[in-house]
Amino acid sequence: MALKITVIGTGYLGATHAAAMAELGFEVLGLDVVPEKIEMLAAGRVPMYEPGLEELLQRHVAGIPGSTGRLRFTTSWEEVGEFGDVHFVCVNTPQKHGEYACDMSYVDAAFASLAPQLRRPCLVVGKSTVPVGSATRLAALLAERAPAGADAELAWNPEFLREGFAVQDTLRPDRIVAGVGSDRAEKLLREVYATPLGEGTPFVVTDYPTAELVKTAANSFLATKISFINAMAEVCEAADGDVVKLAEAIGHDDRIGRKFLRAGIGFGGGCLPKDIRAFMARAGELGVDQALTFLREVDSINMRRRGQMVELAREAVGGSFLGTTVAVLGATFKPDSDDVRDSPALNVAGQIHLQGGQVTVYDPKGMDNARAVFPTLAYAPSALEAARGAQVVLHLTEWGEFRELDPEALGAVVAERRILDGRNALDPSRWREAGWDFRALGRPTA
């Protein structure tokens, strides 16, 4: 009999995981405590922009004509407990308000609701990013509260999907990490992931703490890599060097590698910033805060880039934003996503607005989310409209359509042909040839 799978929490991670599990051939039941989310998903609609996700969902959601019908949604914990052989917990772990630490309330609430419903042998698999030590604590909670007792086991299986590539990263992950407490748990996870394992995906079996740490270590390493190249950008700015060339040159050393060395206004989003902070907080509790002091520096370098972008823009408009018109291209924290959580682009736009600039923003997918966070900024329906009358254009999220912009067409509507590239993604020569004053973070002025 094929395993029956439940997915608890249907945000980014959970919705993608549920659809992917159905794609792999399993019967899947998704649960969320927000009924509106469940209604949307049950109608085959996704509450966020993620390439390919809606199509995948519609291929499997029960009741949609032509679907496999393998994927259903519910708000009932009882139904979840009855249905599942394997329960994936995919709820959010945001930063605690006013603290660095991770807010575990959603994870704790999910386990508290699930445990009493576990009456038959099953495996609960945590996917949320949690402070190390959480799995051991939650395993004890299951043992105590699940009617199935020791037959309701826990595993920790961190998730490495990137927004914008969520479907591909879930169906074809570059590794699967299984923090387990028994051979039975390992065997069940191997069964769940039989397809990617058959295609050669590495499977790393660990204990609970190591599995939890793999996730925070991976995100900390990525954040460090970005801040490293952004620190080099600061030095390049002072020494008239070119950080893009520098990244290319060091990246040829395959011990260093070219990826995640794109200098610019830095990292944002719902993961990297909060994960490095939660990791520092947890290290403090464990008495090893010194081991992660460098992450404080990683965080400050990152936040400084936003300030530097604002400074460059201020210089460009003659020293003050008062009475100036500024166009901002991009609002999301990265392209191919509508996510504006801790978005460097929106942060820069907001700072300039608060300093008296008239800021008009355009983003291909993030307009509604941006408007909700920053209703006082102006929004335009296209890059061209955002740039109309602008004294300076800021390129802050590297959407493909911005690389395709025609410098002549944009030049015809702006007040002054001046552009700042905060993502080092535009071709300087194309813009300069069209008479633009082009500047980019960490690159020479001409």
**Rounded least distance, CB 398 to ligand UGA, Å:** 7
Q: Is 370 in the site for ligand UGA (CB under 6 A)?
A: no
Residues 6 or more apart in contact with residue 246 via CB below 8 angstroms:
232, 236
Q: Is 272 in the site for ligand UGA (CB under 6 A)?
A: yes
Binding mask 22-61 for ligand UGA (x = CB under 6 A): ----------------------------------------
Give Cα 61 distance to the centre of its chain: 25
Site size for ligand UGA (CB under 6 A): 22
Residues 6 or more apart in contact with residue 296 via CB below 8 angstroms:
280
Q: What angle is formed at CA 280 by the lines to CA 8 and CA 202, rounded to 5 degrees?
A: 55
**Rounded least distance, CB 160 to ligand UGA, Å:** 4
Interface with ligand UGA in residues 183-212 (CB under 6 A): none
Residue 30 or 330 having the CB closest to ligand UGA? 330
Binding mask 90-129 for ligand UGA (x = CB under 6 A): ---------------------------------------x
Q: Is 131 in the site for ligand UGA (CB under 6 A)?
A: no
Q: Is 84 in the site for ligand UGA (CB under 6 A)?
A: no
Q: Is 304 in the site for ligand UGA (CB under 6 A)?
A: no
**Rounded least distance, CB 358 to ligand UGA, Å:** 26
Q: Is 317 in the site for ligand UGA (CB under 6 A)?
A: no
In angstroms, the CA 58 to CA 248 distance is 41
Region from 110-118, 219-227, 347-355, 425-433 binding ligand UGA, contact rule CB under 6 A: 219-227
Question: Contact with ligand UGA (CB under 6 A): which of 42, 271, 370, 392?
Answer: 271
- Main-chain phi, psi angles of 87, to 5 degrees: -115, 115
Residues 6 or more apart in contact with residue 64 via CB below 8 angstroms:
44, 58
User: Would you call 295 exposed, middle or buried from its count of C-beta atoms within 10 A (0-12, 13-18, 19+)?
Assistant: buried
Tokens of 64: 């949609």
Interface with ligand UGA in residues 158-177 (CB under 6 A): 159-163
**Selected catalytic residue, list 90, 102, 122, 271:** 271
Residue 271 or 310 having the CB closest to ligand UGA? 271
Residue 325 or 397 having the CB closest to ligand UGA? 397
In angstroms, the CA 297 to CA 261 distance is 17
Question: Contact with ligand UGA (CB under 6 A): which of 219, 220, 324, 325?
Answer: 219
The one-character DSSP state at 162 is: P
Residue 344 or 407 having the CB closest to ligand UGA? 344
DSSP, residue by residue, 283-334: HHHTT-GGGGHHHHHHHHHHHHHHHHHHHHHHHHTTS--TT-EEEEE--SSS
Tokens of 242: 């070119």
Tokens of 27: 């019967």
In angstroms, the CA 366 to CA 329 distance is 11
Residue 272 or 359 having the CB closest to ligand UGA? 272
Residue 43 or 221 having the CB closest to ligand UGA? 221
**Rounded least distance, CB 259 to ligand UGA, Å:** 7
Binding mask 251-270 for ligand UGA (x = CB under 6 A): ---------xxx-x-xxxx-
Region from 157-165, 179-187, 281-289, 384-392 binding ligand UGA, contact rule CB under 6 A: 157-165
**Rounded least distance, CB 441 to ligand UGA, Å:** 10
| Residue whose C-alpha is closest to residue 336's, from 402, 280, 272 | 402
| DSSP H or E segment with residue 56 | helix 53-60
Residue 94 or 181 having the CB closest to ligand UGA? 94
- Main-chain phi, psi angles of 339, to 5 degrees: -85, 125
Q: Which amino acid is at 20?
A: A
Question: Contact with ligand UGA (CB under 6 A): which of 226, 309, 396, 419?
Answer: 226
Q: Is 246 in the site for ligand UGA (CB under 6 A)?
A: no
In angstroms, the CA 153 to CA 140 distance is 10
Active site residue 236: no
Contact 337, 365 (CB under 8 A): yes
Tokens of 38: 């469940």
Q: Is 76 helix (H, G, I), strand (E, B) or coil?
A: coil
Q: Is 321 in the site for ligand UGA (CB under 6 A)?
A: no
Catalytic positions: 271
Q: Which residues bind ligand UGA (CB under 6 A)?
A: 129, 159-163, 219, 222, 226, 260-262, 264, 266-269, 271-272, 275, 333-334
